[in-house]
Structure 1
Amino acid sequence: MSGAYRRLWRQRWVPALLLVGVCARVPLQAYVFAVLLLAVERTGSYPAAGVVTAASGLAYAAGVPVHGRLVDRYGQTWPLRAASVVNAAAFTGLLVTAQVRPTAGALAGWAAAVGLSLPPVAAAARALWSRVIADDGIRRTALAVDAMVLDVALIAGPLLVTAVSAAVGAAWAVGGCAVVLLGGTLWFSTLPPSRAWTPSRRGGGLAGPLRAPGVVVLLLVSLLAGALLGVLRLGFVEFAGERADPAAGGLALAAFGAGSLLGGLAYGARSWRADAAVRMRWILLGYACCVGALAAAPGVPALVALALPAGFFLAPLVICNFELVGRCAPAGTTTEAFAWGITATFAGSALGNVVAGALAGAVPAGVVFATAAGFAALAAAIVTTGTKTLIVPTAVEGS
């Protein structure tokens, strides 16, 4: 194990925070898939199921900045606990409705209530790292591990949902997500670092973190990175479908995820002299080049092989973003700033889905990959233009 990771594990509270992070965040990645399967099972309609899951995702994207602001204003303990209780009630309403009145409208309403009330555990955990770890290098490694926890959640969540749904039904998978999420959130809120986290006396104002130019730059990067992923997912499927093997698109996506895990491990294992803003620019340029190289794949095996280095840049990009958000957010708005990053990523993914949907079938898959690379290149240009606001964040009123 690298010295950086050994130093991280010796930090007090780090193992507990990472473990509870898994318990509270795997269900966040699993529940959407579980709700999708439940909606398909109860309505028998894929379009209806799509409406139900979209309602949940959009509600989550809209609600998480509000939850983040409550945490910044009042501390982590009661906002997280209150959200978890409301969320458990919403999950219960969804499950009951699925049994007694499984119409698309009713299920979508409860799914939206679930998404709107999801506790902001990920944003709250990221806001804690600067309080728990004083050393910049060790904190960077912690952010790397945090990003890899998200990668693991993205892989493990759907697999667990699939296994439970196949064994006992989708309703049990949804219920399991609800129980684990409730328990993980309540556990997180009882940890001493979370209970000791106190909000800044400075208010964020109506605009909150959005009044900081550096935060706006980072949100644009998150939007474009989300769009890249949205385009890429469909691009993998279209490429494999052009070769009469649509399921093979999942292999490319898995290779991309594995590349992200490897990239996060490598990035977090070493110290970096260049500022995070400079690193982000080069990461985005490398991301653009490797995603663009996917267009040259002659077949599915080559696509899977090229997807590994393309994914290598994802986790380092996320880690840089975390580091810079903590730096650029005005005092008293850190959790909300992280929450806005989640919203921007969700919105970007939706944008990418729309763009990829418009391109799919009309152009070769290679053009879709080139479009995804264009999003990364545009993000690199935005970071280059806004580097000064990221290295030395512009002072804003009240910060």
Structure 2
Amino acid sequence: MSGAASAYRRLWRHRWVPSLLLVGVCARVPLQACTFAVLLLTVERTGSYAVAGVVTAAGGVAYAAGVPVHGRLVDRFGQTWSLTIATGINAAAFTGLLITAYREPATGALAAWSAAVGLSLPPVAAAARALWSQVIADEGIRRTALAVDAMVLDVALIAGPLLVSAVSAVAGPGWAVGGCAVILLGGTLWFSSLPPSRSWTPARRAGGLAGPLRSMGIVVLLIVTVLAGALLGILRVAFVEFAGQTTEPAAGGLALAAFGVGSLIGGLVYGARPWRSDASVRMRIILAGYAGGVVLLAAAPNVPALVTLSVPAGFFLAPLVICTFELTGRCAPEGTLTEAFAWGITATFAGSALGNLVAAALVDAGTSTTVMFVAAAGFSALAAVTAALGTKLLTAEPPSVVTDQSSGKGA
């Protein structure tokens, strides 16, 4: 434990680390909150959970498709201008979504604007991870930074739904969606104005269009990430549906926040000790535990019990993310690390969109939330099997990619 504390202290001493972590929270909280806020807004304006699932899925699919493109634009033109332009377009898309929701909330129009929001979301997470190799030279401390980076996602997962629930209860979900847009705009502009972001130099490389997808280990990780993302996509809808049966749909945010608390605890525990087993072995054990924790949600009789059970259910999320970061660094071909992280984001949101669609179909078919929780656990079990079958690929040397910068900065 003392060794882990020492690593965190050494990390915090680096000049730009506090700023990058703080701005990471400001830029990522809206990303976690946005999906939930749009879900509540759509339910309020249309009265349909099925429509809400389609609308949120449209945004997730669009973001999944757009983030690798944004990543390549950042690689070509740098972070500051690419992120600034994307943020301006994203603000306009949020405006269109809100106007449509309150004037003529047709399913097609809402889905189109949700897709526009997702397509234009700035890739702050991928850009931030690309900076760690520039800000921190020591590989061990950089691994600690990636662990903290994963826990920043937990802070977003906790704070996002709580803020959305509070704002929705007081002023309505429309204000929650607008707040996400404003915070995302400010956080991204702040990030892109930091000196490390302004001075970031992308790597120029020749490796074909496939990039990190040339590594079969990366492909295995992306499949696992899609399946794990589907679990979260189902849970978001299931929490709202469960809460809506007894109290208010917005109360589902409490369960989602508790899930994030469990993940944060899991990340702290996971990062506080050294591990002798290989990360590929740890991944499948974590996924099996994840499935077991989520299936227990089916036993919840009411919202307080659901919130309580959500803490242990979320315990395995941050360890899974940290483990995925570690394996991505191992499996990504040289010079493609940033793009590999971007594809990981794509896989996460694609999986979340898949989960939204599955959940919407289950709700439309009249199935109980118990079935939805079991289905979510099934995705994690399938991910564990995938990781086990791909163990050799996760431990193999990645294919080489030609670059013109041996340092790999921006990769």
Tell me whether the two structures share a fold, i.e. TM-score over 0.5. yes
* Contact 1:284–1:380, Cα closer than 8 Å, also in 2: yes
Q: CA deviation at 1:219?
A: 0.2
Matched, 1:391 2:380: no
Matched, 1:197 2:204: no
Matched, 1:382 2:382: no
* Contact 1:127–1:326, Cα closer than 8 Å, also in 2: no
* Contact 1:161–1:173, Cα closer than 8 Å, also in 2: yes
**Deviation larger for 33-42 or 143-152:** 33-42
Q: Give CA deviations for 1:9-60 in whole Å, capped at 9, x if unaligned.
A: 1122111001111111112222333334545566676665554433323222
**1:146 is matched with which residue?**
149
Aligned partner (choices 158, 161, 173) of residue 158 of structure 1: 161
Q: CA deviation at 1:95?
A: 4.2
Aligned partner (choices 313, 320, 325) of residue 323 of structure 2: 320
| Residues 1:117 and 1:350: Cα distance change in structure 2 (over 3 Å) | closer
| Equivalent-residue separation in structure 2 for 1:287 and 1:64 (angstroms) | 27
Q: CA deviation at 1:342?
A: 2.0
* Contact 2:45–2:105, Cα closer than 8 Å, also in 1: yes
| Equivalent-residue separation in structure 2 for 1:84 and 1:30 (angstroms) | 17
Paired positions, count: 397
**SS class of match (1:160):** helix
**1:230 is matched with which residue?**
233
Read off the aligned partner of 1:387 and give its amino acid letter: T
Q: CA deviation at 1:116?
A: 0.9
| Equivalent-residue separation in structure 1 for 2:128 and 2:238 (angstroms) | 33
| Residues 1:150 and 1:74: Cα distance change in structure 2 (over 3 Å) | same
Q: CA deviation at 1:158?
A: 2.9
In the TM superposition, what are the counterparts of 1:1-399 in structure 2 within 5 Å? 2-39=5-42, 50-97=53-100, 103-233=106-236, 253-292=256-295, 297=299, 306-355=309-358, 369-398=373-402
**Deviation larger for 199-208 or 356-365:** 356-365
* Contact 2:157–2:257, Cα closer than 8 Å, also in 1: no
Read off the aligned partner of 1:9 and give its amino acid letter: W
| Residues 1:387 and 1:134: Cα distance change in structure 2 (over 3 Å) | farther
| Residues 1:289 and 1:181: Cα distance change in structure 2 (over 3 Å) | closer
Structure 1, unpaired ranges of 5+ = none
**2:407 is matched with which residue?**
none
| Residues 1:83 and 1:203: Cα distance change in structure 2 (over 3 Å) | farther
Q: Give CA deviations for 1:338-368 in whole Å, capped at 9, x if unaligned.
A: 2222222222233334545666788886665
Read off the aligned partner of 2:387 and give its amino acid letter: V
- TM-score, structure 2 normalization: 0.81
Q: Give CA deviations for 1:119-176 in whole Å, capped at 9, x if unaligned.
A: 0001111222233223343323322222222122123223323433444454443333
| Equivalent-residue separation in structure 2 for 1:237 and 1:83 (angstroms) | 31
* Contact 2:91–2:181, Cα closer than 8 Å, also in 1: yes
| Equivalent-residue separation in structure 1 for 2:400 and 2:98 (angstroms) | 46
* Contact 1:214–1:394, Cα closer than 8 Å, also in 2: yes
Superposition RMSD in Å: 3.5
**Deviation larger for 101-110 or 19-28:** 101-110
